[in-house]
C-alpha cells in the first residue's frame, strides 16, 4: 500500500511534543511492514545543517495563496527504499526560530503557513510517479487537506483521489483563524460553512479535517470516547458524535529502538527487567548532574512535560507543598517549559527546597532519557491526555507511572485495584492536588515494599507497546477506507 503522511513536526527533525514521535515511528513501522511510505513536513530552520543528507529534490513549485503565487521547493531524504521524507522549503514561512510561536506568541500568519504546507502536500500527492492511495493527516495544521481534496474531487479535477485519514493528537488545539484567511484557500465562499470549516464565524482548520476526511482516528480508545462528550469535546463533540462510527481510537506505540535501556547511547548504565543495578547507577548520576544529594534510600519522582493546565502542572506544584508539609523525604526532578507562571512556580519550589527539587526549564531530549532511566516514579496528572507517551517510556524504563485515569493514560497503565497480577502503576481519578498527593503517598508505600515495587517494574518493563502491533491496526483502517468495508 502507498501511504503519504503530512505532519507539522517529525522526530528527529522538529518536535514540540508526542506528535513528532508518533508520525516518525508509525511511518517507520509501516515501511518496515512493507508499505511504501512518504512523509511530508516543513523544512524548518536548522534542519538542513543538522541533517546534511537531505538533498534538493529538484522540484520547485508555485502555490496560489489568494491573489499571490507563493514559490516553494521540495527537499528529500530517502531513509530506506520504502520510506521517503519530503521537506517543504519556503523560507519566509518556515525559516523561523519557532515551529508555531515565539515567546508563547503564535505567529500571526500560521493560517497561511499551514495552508501552504497542505497545498504543497496535495501537489506532491498528485504528481508523485506512484501516487498514494491513502493520505494520513495529523492535527490542525493539516486540516485543510481533506477540504482542498474534496473540492478538487467535486470539481472533477481529481476524479479518483486518495482516501484521507485524519488523526486527532490533541483536540484542544484547533487552529482558529479569521474568516479573511479563507481567501488563501482559493475555494469558493459557498464552501465556507458550518458543515466544512466554519465555526462561530471563524476558519477552524481542525474542523475542516474532521468534517471532510474519510476516516477519523485518535490516539487512544478512551480518548475516542471522551471527545464525544461536552467535557472533553472542546466544542466539536456534536460533529464527533455524528461521525462516531468513523472514529477509531488506536493507542500510540513506542519506538523501542529509540527508547531502550540497553545499547542506548543516551544512557551511561544499561539495565533490563532482570538486572536493575544500572538503573540505580543512572539515579546516582542524575542526582549528581542536577546537584541533588546522592541518596539511594529515598524515592526520586520526575515529570517531563509541557507546562500547561492540560498536564496538571499546577496540581503538581500544590501536591508537593502538601508532601513537604507532611515531612516526607523524597526528590523531585522537573524538565519542562511553557506557561511562564508555572515555570516560575517550579523555579521557586526548587529555590525553597534545593535539597529535594531540581528544575530544568527547556527542551532537552537527552536529559529526558536520563531522567526516565533514573527516576523511580513518573508523574502524569493530566486533566486530559489523548495518549501520552511518557508513561509508555516510563513503563519500559522501570519508572512507575502515577497517572490520572484519563485518555491514553487510563488505557495503558494498570492500577493494582484493577489487576494485582498485572499492576504497572498508580492511578487516581479526581483532577485535584489532594488526589495527586494521595497517589504520591501510595508511591511512598510502594517504595517501602521492594518486592512489590520490583513486581510493578517487571510488569511495566515487559509490557509490549511496540509500533509493529499498533501499525497493523492502521493498515486495517486504511483497507477499510479504501474498500469501504
Ligand atoms: P504532548 O504531545 O501532549 O506534549 P506526550 O506525552 O504525548 O505529550 O509527548 C511528549 C513528548 O515530548 C515526549 O517524547 C517527551 O519526552 C517530550 N518532551 C516533553 N517535554 C520535553 C522537554 N522539556 N524536553 C525534552 N522532551 C520533552
- Assess whether 477 and 366 both reside in one domain: no
pLDDT at 485: 57
- Assess whether 34 and 175 both reside in one domain: yes
pLDDT at 7: 98
263 is a domain residue? no
Q: Which letter does DSSP use for residue 272 in this model?
A: B
On whether the CB atoms of residues 203 and 111 are closer than 8 A, the answer is yes
Taking CA atoms, 265 is separated from 28, 83, 321, 396, in Å, by 20, 24, 36, 16
β-strands 101-102, 105-106 pairing: antiparallel
Find out whether the beta carbon of 364 lies less than 6 Å from any atom of ligand 1. Answer: yes
Find out whether the beta carbon of 383 lies less than 6 Å from any atom of ligand 1. Answer: no
Find out whether the beta carbon of 363 lies less than 6 Å from any atom of ligand 1. Answer: yes
269 is a domain residue? no
Q: What does each of the 485 residues of the chain score in pLDDT, given as a tens digit?
A: 999 999 999 999 999 999 999 999 999 999 999 999 999 999 999 999 999 999 999 999 999 999 999 999 999 999 999 999 999 999 999 999 999 999 889 999 999 999 999 999 999 999 999 999 999 999 999 999 999 999 999 999 998 999 999 999 999 999 999 999 999 999 999 999 999 999 999 999 999 999 999 999 999 999 999 999 999 999 999 999 999 999 999 999 999 999 999 999 999 999 999 999 999 999 999 999 999 999 999 999 999 999 999 999 999 999 999 999 999 999 999 999 999 999 999 999 999 999 999 999 999 999 999 999 999 999 999 999 999 999 999 999 999 999 999 999 999 999 999 999 999 999 999 999 999 999 999 999 999 999 999 999 999 999 999 999 899 999 999 999 999 75
238 is a domain residue? yes
Report d(CA 247, CA 480) in Å as an integer: 12
Report d(CA 165, CA 123) in Å as an integer: 17
268 is a domain residue? no
Tell me which residue of 361, 365, 364, 311 sits closest to 334, measured CA to CA: 361
- Assess whether 234 and 356 both reside in one domain: no
- Assess whether 211 and 327 both reside in one domain: no
Find out whether the beta carbon of 306 lies less than 6 Å from any atom of ligand 1. Answer: yes
Residue of 23, 342, 389, 411 best suited for mutating to test ligand 1, as the one with most atoms within 8 Å of CB: 389
271 is a domain residue? no
Find out whether the beta carbon of 338 lies less than 6 Å from any atom of ligand 1. Answer: no
Given strand 36-42, what is the order of strands in its sheet?
A: 55-65, 68-80, 83-89, 36-42, 2-6, 134-138, 163-168, 215-218, 247-249
55 is a domain residue? yes
Q: Can you give the residue range of the structural domain that contains 233? A: 2-253+468-482
240 is a domain residue? yes
**Closest atom of ligand 1 relative to the 390 alpha carbon:** 6
- Assess whether 351 and 440 both reside in one domain: yes
How many domains in the chain? Answer: 2
- Assess whether 459 and 474 both reside in one domain: no
- Assess whether 341 and 323 both reside in one domain: yes
Nearest CA to ligand 1 atom 24: 363
Q: What are phi and psi of 424, to 5 degrees?
A: -125, -15
- Assess whether 149 and 286 both reside in one domain: no
On whether the CB atoms of residues 90 and 123 are closer than 8 A, the answer is no
How many angstroms does the Cα of residue 17 sit away from the middle of ligand 1? 5
- Assess whether 409 and 472 both reside in one domain: no
270 is a domain residue? no
On whether the CB atoms of residues 426 and 401 are closer than 8 A, the answer is yes
On whether the CB atoms of residues 362 and 335 are closer than 8 A, the answer is yes
- Assess whether 285 and 392 both reside in one domain: yes
Burial of 294 (0-12, 13-18, 19+ CB in 10 A): exposed
- Assess whether 91 and 240 both reside in one domain: yes
- Assess whether 203 and 98 both reside in one domain: yes
Which residues are paired to 70 by β-bridges?
63
Q: What is the CATH number of the domain that holds 435?
A: 3.40.50.2000
- Rounded to a whole number of angstroms, the CA Rg of the chain reads 23
pLDDT at 142: 98
Beta strands in 408-463 (DSSP E): 426-428
Burial of 100 (0-12, 13-18, 19+ CB in 10 A): middle
Could you write out the DSSP letters of every residue in 244-263? GGGEEE----B-TTTS-SSS
Amino acid at each position: 500500500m502507498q501511504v503519504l503522511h503530512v505532519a507539522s513536526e517529525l522526530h528527529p527533525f522538529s518536535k514540540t511534543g508526542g506528535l513528532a514521535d508518533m508520525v516518525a515511528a508509525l511511518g517507520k513501522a509501516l515501511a518496515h511492514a512493507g508499505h511504501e511510505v512518504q512523509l511530508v513536513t516543513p523544512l524548518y530552520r536548522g534542519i538542513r545543517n543538522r541533517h546534511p543528507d537531505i538533498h534538493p529534490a529538484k522540484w520547485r513549485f508555485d502555490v496560489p495563496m489568494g491573489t499571490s503565487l507563493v514559490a516553494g521547493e521540495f527537499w528529500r531524504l530517502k531513509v530506506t527504499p520504502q520510506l521517503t521524507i519530503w521537506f517543504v522549503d519556503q523560507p519566509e514561512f518556515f525559516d523561523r526560530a519557532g515551529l508555531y510561536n515565539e515567546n508563547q506568541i503564535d505567529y500571526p500568519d500560521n493560517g497561511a503557513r499551514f495552508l501552504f504546507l497542505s497545498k504543497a502536500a496535495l501537489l506532491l500527492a498528485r504528481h508523485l510517479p506512484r501516487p498514494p492511495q491513502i493520505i494520513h493527516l495529523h492535527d490542525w495544521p493539516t486540516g485543510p487537506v481533506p477540504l482542498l481534496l474534496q473540492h478538487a474531487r467535486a470539481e472533477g479535477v481529481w476524479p479518483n483521489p486518495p482516501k484521507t485519514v485524519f488523526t486527532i493528537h490533541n483536540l484542544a488545539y484547533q487552529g482558529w483563524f479569521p474568516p479573511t484567511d479563507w481567501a488563501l484557500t482559493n475555494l469558493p465562499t459557498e464552501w465556507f460553512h458550518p458543515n466544512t470549516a466554519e465555526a462561530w464565524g471563524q476558519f477552524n482548520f481542525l474542523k475542516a479535517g474532521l468534517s471532510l476526511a474519510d476516516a477519523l482516528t485518535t490516539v487512544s480508545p478512551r480518548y475516542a470516547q471522551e471527545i464525544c462528550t461536552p467535557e472533553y469535546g472542546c466544542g466539536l463533540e456534536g460533529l464527533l458524535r455524528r461521525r462516531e462510527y468513523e472514529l477509531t481510537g488506536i493507542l500510540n506505540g513506542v519506538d523501542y529502538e529509540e527508547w531502550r535501556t540497553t545499547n542506548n547511547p543516551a544512557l551511561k548504565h544499561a539495565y533490563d527487567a532482570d538486572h536493575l543495578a544500572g538503573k540505580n547507577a543512572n539515579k546516582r548520576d542524575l542526582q549528581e548532574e542536577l546537584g541533588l544529594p546522592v541518596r539511594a534510600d529515598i524515592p526520586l519522582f520526575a515529570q517531563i512535560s509541557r507546562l500547561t493546565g492540560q498536564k496538571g502542572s499546577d496540581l503538581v506544584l500544590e501536591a508537593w507543598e502538601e508532601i513537604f508539609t507532611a515531612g516526607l523525604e523524597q526528590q523531585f526532578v522537573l524538565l519542562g517549559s511553557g506557561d511562564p507562571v508555572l515555570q516560575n512556580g517550579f523555579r521557586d519550589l526548587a529555590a525553597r527546597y534545593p535539597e529535594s527539587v531540581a528544575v530544568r526549564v527547556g527542551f532537552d531530549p537527552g536529559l529526558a532519557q536520563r531522567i526516565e532511566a533514573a527516576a523511580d516514579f513518573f508523574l502524569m496528572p493530566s486533566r486530559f491526555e489523548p495518549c501520552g507517551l511518557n508513561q509508555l517510556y516510563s513503563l519500559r524504563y522501570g519508572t512507575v507511572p502515577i497517572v490520572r485515569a484519563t485518555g491514553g493514560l487510563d488505557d495503558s497503565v494498570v492500577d493494582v485495584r484493577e489487576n494485582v497480577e498485572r499492576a504497572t502503576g498508580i492511578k487516581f481519578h479526581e483532577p485535584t492536588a489532594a488526589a495527586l498527593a494521595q497517589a504520591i503517598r501510595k508511591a511512598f508505600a510502594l517504595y517501602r515494599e521492594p518486592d512489590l515495587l520490583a513486581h510493578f517494574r517487571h510488569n511495566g518493563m515487559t509490557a509490549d507497546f511496540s509500533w509493529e502491533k499498533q501499525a497493523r491496526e492502521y493498515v486495517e483502517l486504511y483497507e477499510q477506507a479504501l474498500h469501504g468495508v
